[in-house]
Chain A
């Protein structure tokens, strides 16, 4: 059992993505809300401050008048202090004409004002009058019951104070938005983690626990949620299909391996365009190596082991196959064994994959040791040589033929002896005995067809010299068809070396034979 492949660097965390989405959405919504609230609050604050100043003016107008008349200055200043604190005005200034007259000043001015720290202090005209410049002012006269003017009251609203209050409101809105964002994001992330991501992580963990074939081994858990269970059910089904396919592949692979082992062939796969090549252990074993010893394996590995004289014929075989995709590649070549001797191998294969331009891409096939067959052929050659010698020294003529068909167009020694091959029965095994008669040339005495059980007399009047017959025997030609088991004797070793052969055989006539 093993773990799945590690996380690739380009992969992104679903946590990060969902968290980012939630944060962006929440912050955007709350930001818009905070902006709207801020603007609304600003308008409301301006309106409230204006209304507050108007309300203060009305209150002070009503309450200060009797105190002015009673010269209770400290009393109305206490009212002013209360009003400025309650309604958060910047300043309230009372002009007292009655006391002013008593003091000979025209008007006694007093009140309360906020200093830089926001503390309410006594208003002194000489010190603080310039503080009130450019501030919003709301004033009203103070009169007695008869309407006589006793003085006036002025309420001032500070722009700075307004800005500070707006800033304070903005900070409150910001804190509110952050708190709401926190309250939204944390539960959402927790819920997503708890209800979605954790099951997905668990599923990923289960899928990640695989056997050596990469098939999950742990049972897929079930969940309360339909959508996740659809996923897990699909995965269970998928795993079952994969397991069945794997078993089928294992069985198929075993069968193929058995076939390969039974036929004792090596296998190869070649990327024609890159040269990348795969061999099996048997392929290497045919030439006495292990795969490890041949590392690094490529097309050059094969080329390096190929007999120099067979490069050309091998190339021709490949070209023949590449030019005719319907054909097979079949080539007998020699390869150097690890011990130094040459091994006859038969390479068979076919292009399995062609690229988009119609060029071969992947080619695969088998690699079979045919040295024993080649040895048999050599022994047959030797026997044939001995027969040749016998024929050369015998007074009678002898001809043997396999029980097989004969092509009418074949030019055989036999036909040279017998005239037209059209007369020769098909599928016959014949033994022809030639007797030399003194003073006469070759004549036929007796011929019997084993296949037809039909006897006939053949008058061989042809004048054919023995030597010429032996010379006309086929030699050193490419074998035709799948088998070249019947070769005429009398082929020298040099000729056999030239006999590295190939065939580009149409796939539609695999059984066509030529026998000579």
Chain B
């Protein structure tokens, strides 16, 4: 009897092992993981872009993790090293600067991890695709908006001061070039350029004050970044030239949807970070699935002014402010 039981138990064990092995072969593929490495998630632009990435990745079946490196190169390396150890399937990178991106790409490349760069760009290295705003087009068009506004007020002989993001960045150089082209075409003089280093309120306020004080004929300030618009407005107010100096900005803040119609802000060249995030995921997904990917992709920048804001509002809400599907 024991022998029968033993034989039966052996046969049952064999059957069970066979059934388990069949299940093992037929098991679903492991979950694909993506990582978004961004320089500073505290900046709304990057936060909106991260939402676009997460939204699209989720739809495509990826699990996404977002890593903010606080504009710290060491943290960037630590994150990349960790991702290499985790053997993630792909990285979406918004580096702290284009120079740092080179080494990050090299490390990821050595580990065989594909990388898509979302904005900022890279000075070199191998990547799947680079998704960026068309800074040249956007700055040129917002420059024309400003020129029209100055001409409307008869200030075309006035000058324009620029508070710029670092010109070491390619996007910074493009923004300056496009805007200056529009100014040159309109015959409006430049009053000077200050590059942001700290991106702080005080820094922007100080630059705005210097430009106002050193250029009595200053009629407009152009901010290449949107987050410190209040510092510029405060400097204009402090100089007592609230109605004499116009403000125009690159990028967007939610408040701009009200400030532009009111006239506090002449206009803003609004990038579409949500859209960029989506396109970055699409590019990485295409690469992971063996499809051909365009190496350099640009998304248009919306030149929003009082005249067209109502028309562009749906696109602004979704692609610029990320107020669409995820909100």
Please list the residues of chain A having a beta carbon within 8 angstroms of any beta carbon in chain B: 70-75, 77-78, 99, 102-104, 122
Residues of A within 8 A of B124 (CB): 74
User: Is the CB–CB distance between B99 and A103 below 8 Å?
Assistant: no
Within 8 A of A (CB), among B80-135: 81, 99-103, 106-107, 123-124
Q: List 25 A-B contacts (CB under 8 A).
A: A71-B74, A71-B76, A71-B77, A71-B100, A72-B73, A72-B100, A73-B102, A73-B103, A74-B100, A74-B101, A74-B123, A74-B124, A75-B99, A77-B102, A77-B103, A78-B99, A99-B77, A102-B74, A102-B77, A102-B78, A102-B81, A103-B77, A103-B81, A103-B107, A122-B106
User: Is the CB–CB distance between A74 and B99 below 8 Å?
Assistant: yes
Residues of A within 8 A of B102 (CB): 73-74, 77
A72 to B73 alpha-carbon distance, docked (Å): 7
Residues of B within 8 A of A72 (CB): 73, 99-100
Residues of B within 8 A of A71 (CB): 73-74, 76-77, 100
A470 to B137 alpha-carbon distance, docked (Å): 166
Q: Which residue of B has the minimal Cβ distance to A73?
A: B103
A104 to B107 alpha-carbon distance, docked (Å): 13
Q: Which residue of A has the minimal Cβ distance to B105?
A: A74
Interface centre among A74, A78, A99, by most chain B C-beta atoms within 10 angstroms, is A74
Residues of A within 8 A of B123 (CB): 74
Interface size classification for chain B:
10 to 19
Residues of B within 8 A of A70 (CB): 73
A77 to B102 alpha-carbon distance, docked (Å): 10
Residues of A within 8 A of B77 (CB): 71, 99, 102-103
A71 to B77 alpha-carbon distance, docked (Å): 8
**Distance from A104 Cβ to chain B, minimum over Cβ atoms (Å):** 7
Interface centre among B99, B101, B103, B107, by most chain A C-beta atoms within 10 angstroms, is B103
Residues of B within 8 A of A78 (CB): 99
Residues of B within 8 A of A99 (CB): 77
**Distance from B1 Cβ to chain A, minimum over Cβ atoms (Å):** 60
6 A-B pairs besides A72-B100, A74-B103, A75-B99 with CB distance below 8 A are A71-B73, A74-B101, A74-B123, A77-B102, A77-B103, A103-B107
Residues of B within 8 A of A74 (CB): 99-103, 123-124
Q: Which residue of A has the minimal Cβ distance to B76?
A: A71
- When A and B form their complex, which 4 residue pairs have the shortest distance between CB atoms, in order from nearest? A71-B73, A73-B103, A74-B102, A74-B99
Q: Which residue of B has the minimal Cβ distance to A122?
A: B106
**Distance from A309 Cβ to chain B, minimum over Cβ atoms (Å):** 128
Q: Which residue of B has the minimal Cβ distance to A102?
A: B77
Q: Which residue of B has the minimal Cβ distance to A103?
A: B81
Within 8 A of A (CB), among B203-222: none
Residues of B within 8 A of A103 (CB): 77, 81, 107
A416 to B100 alpha-carbon distance, docked (Å): 162
Q: Which residue of A has the minimal Cβ distance to B77?
A: A102
A71 to B95 alpha-carbon distance, docked (Å): 13
**Distance from A72 Cβ to chain B, minimum over Cβ atoms (Å):** 6
A201 to B107 alpha-carbon distance, docked (Å): 83
Q: Which residue of A has the minimal Cβ distance to B84?
A: A103
**Distance from A111 Cβ to chain B, minimum over Cβ atoms (Å):** 12
**Distance from A318 Cβ to chain B, minimum over Cβ atoms (Å):** 117
**Distance from A145 Cβ to chain B, minimum over Cβ atoms (Å):** 18
A114 to B200 alpha-carbon distance, docked (Å): 44
**Distance from A77 Cβ to chain B, minimum over Cβ atoms (Å):** 8
Residues of A within 8 A of B107 (CB): 103
**Distance from B126 Cβ to chain A, minimum over Cβ atoms (Å):** 11
**Distance from A108 Cβ to chain B, minimum over Cβ atoms (Å):** 9
**Distance from A66 Cβ to chain B, minimum over Cβ atoms (Å):** 12
A415 to B288 alpha-carbon distance, docked (Å): 167
CB-defined interface of B221-253 with A at 8 Å, one 1/0 digit per residue?
000000000000000000000000000000000
A320 to B99 alpha-carbon distance, docked (Å): 127
A70 to B76 alpha-carbon distance, docked (Å): 12
Interface centre among A71, A78, A104, by most chain B C-beta atoms within 10 angstroms, is A71
Q: Which residue of A has the minimal Cβ distance to B110?
A: A124
Residues of B within 8 A of A75 (CB): 99
**Distance from B172 Cβ to chain A, minimum over Cβ atoms (Å):** 17
A376 to B223 alpha-carbon distance, docked (Å): 156
Residues of A within 8 A of B99 (CB): 72, 74-75, 78
**Distance from A93 Cβ to chain B, minimum over Cβ atoms (Å):** 15
Q: Which residue of A has the minimal Cβ distance to B99?
A: A74
A454 to B107 alpha-carbon distance, docked (Å): 166
**Distance from B151 Cβ to chain A, minimum over Cβ atoms (Å):** 44
Q: Which residue of A has the minimal Cβ distance to B73?
A: A71
Residues of B within 8 A of A122 (CB): 106
**Distance from A105 Cβ to chain B, minimum over Cβ atoms (Å):** 9
A103 to B73 alpha-carbon distance, docked (Å): 13
A78 to B74 alpha-carbon distance, docked (Å): 19
**Distance from A238 Cβ to chain B, minimum over Cβ atoms (Å):** 89
Residues of A within 8 A of B81 (CB): 102-104
Q: Which residue of B has the minimal Cβ distance to A69?
A: B74
Q: Which residue of B has the minimal Cβ distance to A98?
A: B74
**Distance from B24 Cβ to chain A, minimum over Cβ atoms (Å):** 33
Q: Which residue of A has the minimal Cβ distance to B78?
A: A102
Residues of A within 8 A of B103 (CB): 73-74, 77
**Distance from B227 Cβ to chain A, minimum over Cβ atoms (Å):** 24
Within 8 A of A (CB), among B36-90: 73-74, 76-78, 81
**Distance from B7 Cβ to chain A, minimum over Cβ atoms (Å):** 53
**Distance from B170 Cβ to chain A, minimum over Cβ atoms (Å):** 14
**Distance from A119 Cβ to chain B, minimum over Cβ atoms (Å):** 15
Q: Which residue of B has the minimal Cβ distance to A126?
A: B110
A71 to B100 alpha-carbon distance, docked (Å): 8
A149 to B77 alpha-carbon distance, docked (Å): 20
A122 to B78 alpha-carbon distance, docked (Å): 23
**Distance from A102 Cβ to chain B, minimum over Cβ atoms (Å):** 5
Q: Which residue of B has the minimal Cβ distance to A71?
A: B73
**Distance from B32 Cβ to chain A, minimum over Cβ atoms (Å):** 24
**Distance from A221 Cβ to chain B, minimum over Cβ atoms (Å):** 79
Residues of A within 8 A of B101 (CB): 74
A72 to B123 alpha-carbon distance, docked (Å): 13
Within 8 A of A (CB), among B168-194: none
A68 to B124 alpha-carbon distance, docked (Å): 19
A490 to B223 alpha-carbon distance, docked (Å): 167
**Distance from B122 Cβ to chain A, minimum over Cβ atoms (Å):** 9
A78 to B125 alpha-carbon distance, docked (Å): 13
Residues of A within 8 A of B100 (CB): 71-74
A77 to B100 alpha-carbon distance, docked (Å): 11
Q: Which residue of A has the minimal Cβ distance to B81?
A: A103
**Distance from A214 Cβ to chain B, minimum over Cβ atoms (Å):** 91
A360 to B100 alpha-carbon distance, docked (Å): 117
A145 to B76 alpha-carbon distance, docked (Å): 24
Residues of A within 8 A of B106 (CB): 122
A142 to B73 alpha-carbon distance, docked (Å): 20
A74 to B101 alpha-carbon distance, docked (Å): 8
**Distance from A98 Cβ to chain B, minimum over Cβ atoms (Å):** 8
**Distance from B203 Cβ to chain A, minimum over Cβ atoms (Å):** 20
Residues of B within 8 A of A102 (CB): 74, 77-78, 81
A102 to B83 alpha-carbon distance, docked (Å): 13
Q: Which residue of A has the minimal Cβ distance to B122?
A: A74
A332 to B119 alpha-carbon distance, docked (Å): 139
Q: Which residue of A has the minimal Cβ distance to B125?
A: A74
A71 to B69 alpha-carbon distance, docked (Å): 13
Residues of B within 8 A of A73 (CB): 100, 102-103
**Distance from A65 Cβ to chain B, minimum over Cβ atoms (Å):** 15
Residues of A within 8 A of B78 (CB): 102
**Distance from A467 Cβ to chain B, minimum over Cβ atoms (Å):** 158
